[in-house]
């Protein structure tokens, strides 16, 4: 059976009832999560803007997580819009998602630490952590696409990594549904 791709009209995804109604009405296989206040400079203007950014962005993602868990737990959440601003500017190479660390003689495989550069970017960090947690505890299928700028040899012309490599990123970062438990792991792409 072929499903129709559905695009939604306006609504407030920080309103749990609206989010549940949309997910219930469409029962999607995949949800591309783009619905957030998306301006780092706006989030830094003052307390009102910082609070609005924190509440709207974090609550909208939590609403999505719970709506998927409660209505369509087999659906795949594709979080778009994570940015390199989540990582700050560490003086080391940033691995793709997780990295192996050794400390006091013990080893583990952990998410790379993030030190965001604005209140907006902190909401993206919290979204990533909340989605990773939901994937772990409820076995939800999530792909967290981290986008970064790329530059041409001609100078500082910024290109969207997502736009220039969309097919590659989807193929490289998303496990096909037939791979069992691999489908249920949170996958992070840079």
Q: Which residues are catalytic?
A: 83, 120, 124
Query: Three-class SS of residue 14?
Result: coil
Burial 6-17 (b: 16+ CB within 10 A, else e): eeeeeeebbebe
Alpha helices (H) along the chain:
16-26, 40-43, 47-71, 119-138, 161-173
The residues pairing with 163 across neighbouring beta strands, listed in sequence order, are none
- Whole-angstrom CA distances from 110 to 80, 95, 97, 114 are 21, 11, 8, 12
Say if CB 125 and CB 116 are below 8 A apart: yes
CA distances from 80 to 20, 36, 107, 124 (A): 20, 10, 31, 10
Per the CB < 8 A criterion, the answer to whether 144 and 131 are in contact is: yes
């Amino acid at each position: 059976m072929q499903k129709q791709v559905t695009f939604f009209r306006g609504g407030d995804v920080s309103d749990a009832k609206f989010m549940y109604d949309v997910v219930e009405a469409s029962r999607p296989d995949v949800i591309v999560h783009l619905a957030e206040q998306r301006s780092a400079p706006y989030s830094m203007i003052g307390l009102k803007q910082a609070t609005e950014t924190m509440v709207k962005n974090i609550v909208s993602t939590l609403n999505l997580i719970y709506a998927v868990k409660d209505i369509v737990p087999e659906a795949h959440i594709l979080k778009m819009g994570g940015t390199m601003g989540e990582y700050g500017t560490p003086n080391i190479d940033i691995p793709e998602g997780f990295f192996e660390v050794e400390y006091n003689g013990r080893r583990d495989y952990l998410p790379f630490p993030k030190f965001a550069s604005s209140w907006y970017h902190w909401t993206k960090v919290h979204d990533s952590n909340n989605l990773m947690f939901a994937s772990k505890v409820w076995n939800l299928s999530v792909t967290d696409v981290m986008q970064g700028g790329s530059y041409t040899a001609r100078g500082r012309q910024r290109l969207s990594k997502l736009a220039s490599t969309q097919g590659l990123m989807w193929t490289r970062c998303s496990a096909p549904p037939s791979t069992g438990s691999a489908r249920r792991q949170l996958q992070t792409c840079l």
